[in-house]
Amino acid sequence: MSGRKVALITGITGQDGSYLSEFLLDQGYEVHGIIRRTSTFNTDRIDHIYIDPHSPDAKLFLHYGDLTDGTTLRRILEEVKPVEIYNLGAQSHVRVSFDSPEYTVDSVAMGALRILEAVRDYQQRTGIEVRFYQAGSSEMFGKVIEVPQKETTPFYPRSPYSCAKVYAHWQTINYRESYDLFACNGILFNHESPRRGETFVTRKITRAVARIVEGTQKKLYLGNLDSKRDWGYAKDYVKAMWMMLQQEQPDDYVVATGETYEIKEFLDIAFSHVNLDWHDYVAFDPRYLRPAEVDLLIGDPTKAKQKLGWSPSVTFEELVKLMVNADLINLNLPTPDGSQREDNTLNRRNFATIVD
Ligand code: NAP
Ligand code: GDD
């Protein structure tokens, strides 16, 4: 591997992209991110680490592009000359993927293929190794075949999103074996944080708790409360992505806590943290049901622990409380345990400098 520390991230404006950028900048990387052109800025999660690119201190650079636009992806690759690529970009909402299956598959499955093709050509032409990380998902396991789920558990995807992720997973392996690319799949179980998108169930709950305390929300409408998820802390999980690309050989890894909880247990901790009973506030709305559900996810992170030396640092209860606290702080409300802001991205906009 060359000594240059230049990374390219798709999905840099997302939850994981923002934590990974912080982590890589701390490791001394020059970080480049692909962002989509939008009519209003959507860079809130990375504004706090962005410095005007005209400054000699700038280490984070943004490029307009889209996973559905292969030409631009190739051009950015040629320009940036990264030694590591993290493919985190995706239409990542499982329920939405049933509404927009074509777009989801284009960005998730074809997007990964477009980057792999670009890397293959670039590496063949220049002889420079580019290490590639594919953001795979526990959703690929889908219908329960084996518990806990590990690298060898067969996939049974149950949504357009997870079918697309399975495609990207196997193409990553195919390119590794066919063209000798250093390409890794992370099979990451659910990971959450105060930066989690507001329509995923954990953040939807913690945001509602804060608004109920504030008095601006009366009810929280949810779908299926019986599914179980293996929830970890996003900051821990982005470190595992980087660790995979630092190994001698490329490989695929499950990243998980090894514990699973029902949505109801998340609700219990979140509401009781502010001395409320969720049964008084939660109502059912069938709109949030999926045509096919993934009932039980629980991962076996043994391989990541043994080979990468990775382990999660935040327990389920800590995760729920830190998310509730962050949403209370966002609304300038006191936290029950007196904790202060852990996250410096929210409620902050710095868009005067963000892009030309
Ligand atoms: P996220 O918050 O939804 O972020 C997704 C990112 O992808 C955003 O930056 C989004 O840009 C970008 N994006 C969407 N469509 C795109 C397109 N067509 N071209 C380029 N970029 C596009 O997701 P996340 O939670 O950070 O997850 C990161 C990755 O890990 C995703 O691939 C997700 O599927 C996968 N994953 C997540 C989890 C989890 O629990 N979080 C678990 C397993 C796998 P905008 O900001 O412009 O929308
Ligand atoms: N989003 C949402 N909204 N989910 C709800 C709701 C609701 O109102 N009510 C119940 N749920 C249930 C869903 O049916 C699902 O069983 C569970 O809560 C978790 O849903 P999400 O938080 O949307 O996450 P996900 O597990 O479907 O997908 C997330 O994790 C995957 C990894 O397993 C996403 O981040 C995916 O991108 C990721 O791959």
pLDDT, tens digit, for every residue of 315-338? 999 999 999 999 999 999 999 988
Q: Tell me the pLDDT band of 347, cut-offs 50, 70 and 90.
A: very low
Query: Cα of 62 to ligand 1 centre, how many Å?
Result: 16
With respect to residue 141, please indicate whether it lies within any of the assigned structural domains: yes
Indicate the pLDDT class of residue 1, thresholds 50, 70 and 90. Answer: low
- Rounded to 10°, the helix 201-214/263-272 angle is 30
Q: Is the pLDDT of residue 344 over 90?
A: no
- Residue 320: CB partners within 8 Å, gap ≥ 6? 202, 206, 266, 269, 270, 273
Residue 32 within any structural domain of the chain: yes
Please give the pLDDT value at position 4.
85
Instruction: State residue 2's pLDDT score.
Output: 60
The residue nearest atom 34 of ligand 1, judged by CA position, is 92
pLDDT score of 225 more than 60? yes
What domain range includes position 99?
Answer: 6-193+232-255
Whether 350 shows a pLDDT value over 80: the answer reads: no
Nearest CA residue ID for atom 8, ligand 2: 222
Q: Which residues are catalytic?
A: 137, 139, 161
In a domain, 182, yes or no: yes
Q: Per-residue confidence at 342, pLDDT binned at 50, 70, 90?
A: low
> Domain count of the chain?
1
Distance 265 CA to ligand 1 centre (A): 26
- Residue 260's alpha-carbon distances to 115, 147, 151, 226, in angstroms, are 34, 11, 18, 12
CA dihedral 127, 131, 137, 143 (to 10 degrees): 50
Average pLDDT over residues 134-141: 98
Query: Does some domain include residue 159?
Result: yes
**pLDDT reported for residue 341:** 67
| Averaged pLDDT for residues 59-85 | 98
Pocket lined around ligand 2, Cβ cut-off 6 Å: 92, 94-95, 137-139, 189-190, 199-202, 204, 222-224, 227, 229, 263, 288, 290, 293, 297
Instruction: Calculate mean pLDDT across residues 207-234.
Output: 98
Are β-strands 30-35 and 6-10 bridged in parallel, bridged antiparallel, or unpaired?
A: parallel
Residue 270 lies in a domain: no
142 domain residue, yes or no = yes
In the predicted model, what is the mean pLDDT of residues 158-179?
Answer: 98
Average pLDDT, the chain: 95
Taking residues 190-201, report their average pLDDT: 98
Q: What pLDDT digit, counting tens, does each position of 12-49 carry? A: 999 999 999 999 999 999 999 999 999 998 999 999 99
Residues 111-127: what's their mean pLDDT? 98
Q: Is 197 in the pocket of ligand 1 (CB under 6 A)?
A: yes
Coil, strand or helix at 149: strand
Give yes or no for residue 232 CB within 6 A of ligand 1. no
Q: Give the 3-state secondary structure of residue 120.
A: helix
- State the Cα–Cα distance between residues 251 and 244, nearest whole angstrom: 7
Does the structure show a pLDDT above 90 at 179?
Answer: yes
CA of 261, nearest ligand number = 2
pLDDT of the residue at 356: 38
| 111 domain residue, yes or no | yes
Q: What is the mean pLDDT of residues 1-8?
A: 84
Q: How far is CA 319 from CA 31, 45, 123, 265, 327, in A?
A: 28, 19, 41, 12, 13
How confident is the model at residue 354, as a pLDDT?
Answer: 38
167: CATH:
3.40.50.720
Whole-number pLDDT of residue 345: 57
Model pTM score: 0.97
Q: Which ligand is nearest to the CA of 186?
A: 1
Compute the distance between CA of residue 31 and CA of residue 173 in angstroms, rounded to an integer: 25
In a domain, 82, yes or no: yes
Candidate of 16, 196, 323 to mutate for ligand 1, largest count of ligand atoms within 8 Å of Cβ: 16
Q: Is the model's pLDDT at 351 over the cut of 80?
A: no
